[in-house]
Structure 1
Amino acid sequence: MAEDVRAEMVSTVFEVVVNKGDVVDVGDTLVVLESMKMEIPVIAETAGTVTALDVAVGDVIQAGDLIAVIS
């Protein structure tokens, strides 16, 4: 089963830690977002393979936007 990883708030993508095809474990950082001068890591809540990565450094994303899919 695939898990969609979505943004919780309006933010800018500060760093992309994983690539499409990477295997991640629960607790691994996927990307780091920046909002209001704070860096916010987005953590994998399930283990699996990153099958989609829909953001790049510098992207401005809105709450609910898709960041990645883990299958």
Structure 2
Amino acid sequence: MTIINIKTEITGNIWKIEAQVGQKLAEGDTIMILESMKMEIPVSATEDGVLVEILAEEGATVTEGTVVARIEA
């Protein structure tokens, strides 16, 4: 098994976490939603796997490239 780091593509605030640790995800499934400049930007799974860790919480501010979750693929 391989651990995949899920990173943000933009600076913003974590508006809502939609997935739970232990959940099976398909590539493209939304893990959380960032809010930036009044836009909602999904942070999605980059490949199929199981969500093993969430590294941020709702309301937190993150910068571009921050690792916010890990998937075991």
Give the TM-score normalised by the residue count of structure 2: 0.90
CA distance in 1, matches of 2:37, 2:59: 15
Secondary structure (helix, strand or coil) at the match of 2:58 reads: coil
Secondary structure (helix, strand or coil) at the match of 1:21 reads: coil
CA distance in 1, matches of 2:64, 2:44: 16
Amino acid at match of 1:56: E
- The runs of 4+ residues in structure 1 deviating greater than 2 Å are none
Structure 2 gap ranges (5+): none
Aligned residues: 71
Structure 1 gap ranges (5+): none
Give the TM-score normalised by the residue count of structure 1: 0.93
Identical amino acids, percent of aligned pairs: 30
Secondary structure (helix, strand or coil) at the match of 1:45 reads: coil
